[in-house]
A and B are shown apart, each in its own frame.
Chain A
Amino acid sequence: MKLLVCISKAPDTTSRIAFTDGDKRFDESGVQFIVNPYDEWYALVRAIELVEQNGGSVTTITVGEASCDPIVRKALAIGATDAVRIDAIPTDSSQVARLIANYAKDQGYDIILGGKETIDNNSSAVPAMIAECLDLPYVALVTKLEMSGDEATLTAETTGGTNNLSVKGTFVMSATKGIAEQRIPNMRGIMSARTKQLQVVEASAVEISTQVDVFKLPPLKGDCVIVDADNPAELVRVLREEAKII
């Protein structure tokens, strides 16, 4: 099987979030970058497992600048076969999706996998958009994926429950918790990643339809009002009379 996994660069989950350039751009100084958790823990690991069982290859694809290369190397160390980076500044979800779709069409991938969402952009949009660009079926929020021949059996989260689904032929999906367990790269993986191919390709021309005017940090919470532990009725009173919430 021939699998394509979309991985993006994300700030470490404990990063301090700050902005620069008149608050138009995320301030990357001092920030540790990781592979977006949904892409690494779930989409990538499940793809590697499937290829371990059935043979084939796992290619990662990333839209980003050279600063993405360390996280791409990590994906190779975990077990991806090779990697592609489309050299462009990711600006909006449809641009990223179109770039990936333009690259992937005609390449004969069996499954294109992404994560549920990026932890910086939080759009949950790119995989669905890739599917539309390529006119492929799309399954969101997959928690279980089994293959037999060219038929996939999936379990996926949806509003209010889970769906059991099946798809024949090429499809796109987003992965979430449950589909696989996180893998820590070992020394051999890290060594072999150095010699694996990371191909940098030029971006095709695509339009950008949104732009960020400004980023803002949420207002700080006022001081927490502490209520006496022996008198929870007081909490009920403030929730009712001050916060007017119950």
Chain B
Amino acid sequence: MSVLVYISTQAGKATNAGLEVASYASALQTGEVIALVAGDISGDGGLGAVGVSKVMHCADALTDNSQQSKLTKEAALSIGAKAVVFSGNSIGNSIAPRVAIAMNAGYVAGATGLPEGKTYTRNVFSGKATAHVQVTTETIVIAVTPNSFGIKNTGGSEAVVEAFSADVGEARVTLNGFTPTSSEGTVPLPEAIRVVSAGRGLKGPENWGIVEDLAKALGASTACSRPVGDMGWRPHHEHVGQTGITIRPDLYIACGISGAIQHLAGVNQSKVIVVINTDPEAPFFKAADYGIVGDVFEVLPKLTAAINAL
């Protein structure tokens, strides 16, 4: 039995999200791991090292999810895959549910770990609970929550790359342009390993320098609370929480954020939470691992200096 894993590439290399889902597919241990890549790939894109034995390569970088879905279904059928794995990022979430319907397969959205038998764990109620979901179909489509599994090098050898194509019909959605939100080389927020986030306690957009300095010292991405996005202090795409982005970094540092339940919903899956707030009663401290009761304008520069001194 084999597993098909859908991989996005950037400049010919599998993205971190792609390497993570390939690692997940290998760890399923249900057989040969075969990757499907639509678009640019150089060599095996780094996929052999995470356990992929073969890459099915479609040279056409498809941008319409109905075409991507058809391609995936054909690839899965051609190798008799019983599991198809995607990253649960924006791209994966637009294709994987379509594939599940097309293949009459049970769908697990946002799996956070390996299954026990056919039971998968996923987050529900915006991170306030987990559901243990049993899939009753033979074929399963899984979208894995970004950063929930990690990249695991298996030391495998270079994967074989074979051309693959299928009749995917015409593109019905036309892509007229793409604007990157993050500058070249920085990771998208849902995939970030470290995040420094700030709220209304920063008083105004002109004060974000101390937040950015800390983020830079840690190699972290920046995020913010919703009011900060709404007031235009920071770009909307940095807003985390129930109505914003959900993140699960290893380290989340919240500066001048009160810790409202809707904010916590987007960040409470972080491994370690650090809160810096002048108010010892701020609800965020109850959800934190480490806290500093203090003024961000004094604490952040000192913290940055301490990290830079490492």
Contacts and interface: CB of A to CB of B under 8 A. Distances in A.
Interface of A: 11, 13-14, 17, 19, 26, 37-38, 92-94, 97-98, 119-126, 128-129, 131-133, 135-141, 157-169, 171, 177-178, 208-218, 221-222, 224-230, 232-233, 235-236, 238-240, 243, 245-246
Interface of B: 8, 15, 17, 63-66, 69, 88-91, 93-102, 104-110, 119, 122-137, 172-182, 188, 194, 218, 236-237, 239, 242-244, 246, 250-251, 261-262, 265, 268, 271-275, 285-295, 298-299, 302-303, 306-307, 309-310
A138 B98 contact: yes
B109 A239 contact: no
A125 B93 contact: yes
B134 A163 contact: no
A158 B134 contact: no
Contacts of B15: 159
Contacts of A125: 93, 96-97, 100, 107, 109
Contacts of B99: 132
A208 B123 CA distance: 20
B174 A162 contact: no
A213 B117 CA distance: 12
Contact of B65 (A98, A128, A212, A221): A128
B101 A132 contact: yes
B102 A132 contact: yes
A162 B235 CA distance: 13
Contacts of A212: 131-134
Main secondary structure of the interface of B (DSSP, over half): mixed
B91 A239 contact: no
A132 B136 contact: no
Contacts of A232: 292, 299, 302-303, 306
A235 B188 contact: no
Nearest to A128: B97
A163 B132 contact: no
B66 A132 contact: yes
